[in-house]
């Protein structure tokens, strides 16, 4: 797996990452969503450097400009519901992309720490021979991402596979390396220390879905 960690060099990205982690700022859900969206735009820009481009001629009011444009077809696919704000950021950059959505959640069948990943809803276009970008803000154990990946890959094969997450735990990265193809690209804004006993990322930021859209039953 090809690993890309964007926050290794200081940029405005680190400013937005600090704000989404800050408990004194998190109670503003609109600001949280906007910062996740901004992070998505930055990640999309960095990812765009790896795509294929083609030469074109553009007619301006004063002449012809020889330039380039994206040649690849892009499909954005986010995991509901936490992935929506990050998805919006990517969509702001890849404005011609097709869009898909998949549900995945932890089902605690014994009401304890043990859980299974349930993938119950999928609405996605064809991504055969296209660049698929899978989007989810938090990569904890990695089980949700692998479950969604397996469901999506059951019938189609993309040209390239990119996975975009805001914060990842080392355990989740290792799980993806073991269970996904070697040619996948994993884009991460920041890598944190570890998972706690409940499989939440430490120091992390809490539950991204709840912070963006309110608590759930």
pLDDT at position 114 is 65
pLDDT tens figures, 117-139: 777 788 899 999 999 999 999 99
Compute the average pLDDT of residues 18-32.
95
Q: Please tell me the predicted confidence (pLDDT) of residue 127.
A: 94
The residue-averaged pLDDT of 56-69 equals 98
The reported pLDDT for the residue numbered 111 is 61
Tell me, what's the pLDDT at 216? 77
End-to-end CA distance of the chain: give it in Å, rounded: 36
Residue 117: the pLDDT is: 73
Percent above pLDDT 90 for the chain:
79
The pLDDT, as a whole number, for residue 118 is 76
> If DSSP codes are grouped into helix, strand and coil, which group holds residue 127?
coil
For strand 131-135 and strand 74-80, is the pairing parallel, antiparallel, or unpaired?
parallel
What is the reported pLDDT for 81?
83
Counting Cβ atoms within 10 Å, is residue 122 exposed (0-12), middle (13-18) or buried (19+)?
A: middle
């Amino acid at each position: 797996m090809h690993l890309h960690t964007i926050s290794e060099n200081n940029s405005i990205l680190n400013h937005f990452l600090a704000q989404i982690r800050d408990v004194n700022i998190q109670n503003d859900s609109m600001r949280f969503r906007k910062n996740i969206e901004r992070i998505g735009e930055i990640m999309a820009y960095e990812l765009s450097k790896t795509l294929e481009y083609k030469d074109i001629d553009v007619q301006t009011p004063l002449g012809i400009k020889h330039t380039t444009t994206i040649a690849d077809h892009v499909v954005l696919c986010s995991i509901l519901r936490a992935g929506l704000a990050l998805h919006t950021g990517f969509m702001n950059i890849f404005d011609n992309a097709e869009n898909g959505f998949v549900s995945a959640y932890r089902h605690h069948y014994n009401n304890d720490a043990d859980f299974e990943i349930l993938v119950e809803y999928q609405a996605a276009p064809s991504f055969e021979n296209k660049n698929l970008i899978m989007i989810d803000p938090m990569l904890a154990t990695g089980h949700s991402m692998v479950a969604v990946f397996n469901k999506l890959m059951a019938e189609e094969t993309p040209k390239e596979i990119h996975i975009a997450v805001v914060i990842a735990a080392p355990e989740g990265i290792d799980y993806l390396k073991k269970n996904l193809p070697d040619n996948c690209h994993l884009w991460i804004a920041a890598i944190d220390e570890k998972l706690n006993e409940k499989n939440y990322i430490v120091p992390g930021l809490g539950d991204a879905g709840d912070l963006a859209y309110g608590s759930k039953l």
